[in-house]
Homo-oligomer: A and B are copies of this chain.
């Protein structure tokens, strides 16, 4: 049984599903829910719907003011009236991913079988599992074919997974700063972050929620590590260089001397207020496990028959998901005979460029979407 209600915790909607979902791990999750938000109006032909897939630490509120942070939505520059993803024209859907901590069922929720918080008993999930849940939502909304599925970073992984698993359910995708599979270096960064969390005594084998504690120190360091990978070396140089933080001289101590230290500590501290450590573990694991190449190859006939249009985008200074990896996506898609466009956007702001004001990037997305019929 499925039922859509208003979300009591946040503005937006909740899809409650009383049913069993078989996951890639072989485990089953039941009685799950999906927290989502929509922008714009679904037209009568139901052919103007765009699904946005969020990145590791994103949520279901890309546009307008976020009801959580009270700041602009995380993709406010991309999604809204007269933006590239124009909410005057398109019906835009974004849902918190499975395993998340902003309303969709995740490790911090109650396990209906035990009436206790899942914690480490939450099943390991994959990008495909996230997409399975999104497909259920799209079905419930009565949309048989999405105009486009769009996302950056971990969002790009979901986007590619959509094309591989449900090629008959979409007309186009935009993969931004993504890859076919997580690289060894990226698994290493994820693992350093996970170890930071799991070695924090407050993590307590993942049982911290029921004990009313939080591995804040571990999660904070994990965020610092990750944050360094989101910026380019040049972005660090331009933003901070070796500037001192509100002082003229070095302090000769371990407090904050450099602006970059202040920035990193702030990133770490503010993150623990809005994100859950177990969710962080499950999501980074899903990224590590991601490898969509063979599924794209296996489903190439359906991809071609459905005439899916692909746009693959990368940024010159992104070293976490470098252009090389986007070119591997393009190469595979070309090799299976699909319709693929590619652009490398010049930006010196690193992986985070996809969230920033990058006019060339917006133009390419805008034009591509206008061409989808």
Which residues of A are interface residues toward B (Cβ below 8 A)?
A: 24-27, 120, 123-124, 181-185, 187-189, 191-192, 194-196, 198-201, 217-218, 220-221, 224-225, 228, 231, 233, 236-237, 239-242, 250, 252-254, 257-258, 260-261, 264-265, 268, 281, 285, 288-289, 291, 319, 322
Residues of B within 8 A of A253 (CB): 124
Provide the bound-state CA to CA distance between A183 and B189, in Å. 20
Query: Within the complex, which residue of B195, B252, B265 is in contact with A224, where a contact is CB–CB below 8 Å?
Result: B195
Of A188, A224, A322, most buried by chain B (CB within 10 Å of CB) is A188
Name the distance in Å between A94's Cβ and chain B's nearest Cβ: 27
Q: Are A185 and B220 in contact (CB under 8 A)?
A: no
Q: Are A252 and B123 in contact (CB under 8 A)?
A: yes
Residues of B within 8 A of A200 (CB): 217
Provide the bound-state CA to CA distance between A236 and B320, in Å. 13
Name the distance in Å between A279's Cβ and chain B's nearest Cβ: 13
How often does this chain occur in the complex, in copies? Answer: 2
Residues of B within 8 A of A191 (CB): 224, 258, 260-261, 264-265
Q: Are B124 and A260 in contact (CB under 8 A)?
A: no
CB-defined A-B contacts under 8 Å, sample of 18: A26-B252, A185-B228, A188-B224, A188-B264, A191-B224, A191-B261, A191-B265, A192-B264, A195-B220, A195-B221, A195-B264, A195-B265, A196-B221, A199-B218, A199-B221, A201-B201, A221-B221, A257-B289
Q: Are A183 and B237 in contact (CB under 8 A)?
A: yes
Query: Within the complex, which residue of B224, B254, B260 is in contact with A184, where a contact is CB–CB below 8 Å?
Result: B260
Q: Are A260 and B188 in contact (CB under 8 A)?
A: yes
Q: Are B285 and A254 in contact (CB under 8 A)?
A: yes
Query: Within the complex, which residue of B184, B221, B322 is in contact with A239, where a contact is CB–CB below 8 Å?
Result: B184
Provide the bound-state CA to CA distance between A27 and B24, in Å. 60
Residue of B nearest to A263 (CB): B188
Provide the bound-state CA to CA distance between A257 and B290, in Å. 13
Name the distance in Å between A269's Cβ and chain B's nearest Cβ: 10
Q: Are B254 and A198 in contact (CB under 8 A)?
A: yes
Q: Are B291 and A242 in contact (CB under 8 A)?
A: yes
Q: Are A242 and B187 in contact (CB under 8 A)?
A: yes
Residue of B nearest to A284 (CB): B254
Known: A196-B196, A199-B218, A199-B220. 13 other contacts (CB 8 A): A183-B236, A184-B237, A184-B241, A184-B242, A188-B260, A192-B224, A195-B220, A196-B221, A198-B254, A242-B291, A254-B285, A257-B289, A258-B288
Name the distance in Å between A293's Cβ and chain B's nearest Cβ: 11
Residues of B within 8 A of A228 (CB): 185, 188-189, 192
Residue of B nearest to A120 (CB): B254
Q: Are A185 and B236 in contact (CB under 8 A)?
A: yes
Residues of B within 8 A of A258 (CB): 184, 187, 191, 288
Query: Within the complex, which residue of B187, B198, B250, B268 is in contact with A260, where a contact is CB–CB below 8 Å?
Result: B187
